[in-house]
Chain A
Amino acid sequence: MAPVLEVRDLTVVFDTDAGPLAAVNGVSLSVGRGEVLGVVGESGSGKSVTGLALLGLVDPPGRIAGGSILFEGEDLVGRSEHEMRRLRGARIAMIFQDPMSTLHPVLRIDTQMIEAIEAHESVAPAVARGRALAALERVGIPSAAERLAAYPHQFSGGMRQRVAIATALLNRPALLVADEPTTALDVTIQAQILAEMQALQAETGTALIWITHDLSVVSGLADRVAVMYGGRIVETGPVAAVIERPVHPYTAGLIGSVPSRNRRGVPLAQIRGHAPALAQMPPGCPFHPRCERASALCARTMPSAASYGPAHEAACHHPLALPEAA
Chain B
Amino acid sequence: MSAPALALDGVSRRFVKPLDLAERAANLLGAGRRAQVVRAVDGVSLDVAPGEVLGLVGESGCGKSTLARIASGIMEPSEGAVRIEGANRAGLGREARRRADLAVQMVFQDPMGSLNPRMRAGDIIGEAPLVHGIVGRGELADYVAGQMRLVGLDPALRDRYPHQFSGGQRARIGIARALAVKPTILVCDEATAALDVSIQAQVLNLFAELRRSLGLTLLFVSHDLGVVEHISDRVAVMYLGRIVEEATTDALFARPNHPYTQALLAEVPRLEARKRRFSALKGELPSPLAPPPGCHFHPRCPHAFDRCRIERPALREVAPGQRAACHLNDEATRSSSRA
Q: Are B230 and A215 in contact (CB under 8 A)?
A: no
Contact of A188 among B166, B167, B267, B276 (CB under 8 A): B267
Q: Encode contact with A along B109-135: 1 for CB under 8 Å, 0 otherwise.
A: 000000000000000000000000000
Q: Are A244 and B273 in contact (CB under 8 A)?
A: yes
Q: Are B269 and A189 in contact (CB under 8 A)?
A: no
B11 to chain A, nearest CB (A): 23
Q: Are B198 and A156 in contact (CB under 8 A)?
A: no
Evaluate whether A258 and B264 lie within 8 angstroms (CB atoms) in the complex, with A156-B285, A188-B285, A264-B229 already known: no
A208 to chain B, nearest CB (A): 12
Q: Are B168 and A274 in contact (CB under 8 A)?
A: yes
Contact of B197 among A188, A220, A254 (CB under 8 A): A254
Contact partners of B223 in chain A: CB under 8 A: 186-187
Q: Encode contact with A along B212-249: 1 for CB under 8 Å, 0 otherwise.
A: 00000000000111110111000000000000000001
Q: Are B204 and A259 in contact (CB under 8 A)?
A: yes
Q: Are A159 and B284 in contact (CB under 8 A)?
A: yes
Considering the chains assembled together, what is the distance between the CA atoms of A244 and B274 in angstroms?
10
A157 to chain B, nearest CB (A): 8
Considering the chains assembled together, what is the distance between the CA atoms of A216 and B272 in angstroms?
7
Considering the chains assembled together, what is the distance between the CA atoms of A222 and B275 in angstroms?
7
Considering the chains assembled together, what is the distance between the CA atoms of A158 and B204 in angstroms?
29
B276 to chain A, nearest CB (A): 4
> By the criterion of a CB under 8 Å from any partner CB, how many residues of chain A are at the interface?
49
Q: Are A220 and B272 in contact (CB under 8 A)?
A: yes
Considering the chains assembled together, what is the distance between the CA atoms of A163 and B255 in angstroms?
36
Instruction: Please tell me if B330 contacts chain A, counting CB pairs below 8 Å.
Output: no
Q: Encode contact with A along B154-171: 1 for CB under 8 Å, 0 otherwise.
A: 000000000000111100
Total A-B residue contacts, Cβ distance less than 8 Å: 146
Instruction: Please tell me if B271 contacts chain A, counting CB pairs below 8 Å.
Output: yes
Contact partners of A223 in chain B: CB under 8 A: 275
Evaluate whether A260 and B285 lie within 8 angstroms (CB atoms) in the complex, with A195-B278, A198-B278, A268-B230 already known: no
Q: Encode contact with B along A181-225: 1 for CB under 8 Å, 0 otherwise.
A: 000001111111011001000000000000001111101111100
Q: Are A274 and B199 in contact (CB under 8 A)?
A: yes
Q: Are B272 and A219 in contact (CB under 8 A)?
A: yes
Considering the chains assembled together, what is the distance between the CA atoms of A190 and B266 in angstroms?
12
Contact partners of A275 in chain B: CB under 8 A: 196
B160 to chain A, nearest CB (A): 15
Q: Are B269 and A264 in contact (CB under 8 A)?
A: no
Q: B197: nearest residue on chain A (CB-CB)? A: A257
Q: Are A267 and B197 in contact (CB under 8 A)?
A: no
Q: Are A191 and B275 in contact (CB under 8 A)?
A: no
B133 to chain A, nearest CB (A): 36
Q: List 5 A-B contacts (CB under 8 A).
A: A213-B196, A240-B274, A243-B271, A259-B229, A268-B230
Counting from the closest, the 6 A-B pairs by CB-CB distance are A259-B230, A257-B201, A191-B267, A195-B278, A268-B201, A186-B59
Hey, which bits of chain A sit against chain B, CB under 8 A? 42-43, 156, 158-159, 186-192, 194-195, 198, 213-217, 219-223, 239-240, 243-244, 253-261, 263-265, 267-272, 274-275
Known: A186-B223, A217-B269, A264-B249. 18 other contacts (CB 8 A): A159-B284, A187-B264, A187-B268, A188-B59, A188-B285, A194-B278, A220-B269, A257-B197, A258-B226, A259-B224, A260-B271, A261-B229, A264-B230, A268-B204, A268-B230, A269-B201, A270-B201, A271-B198
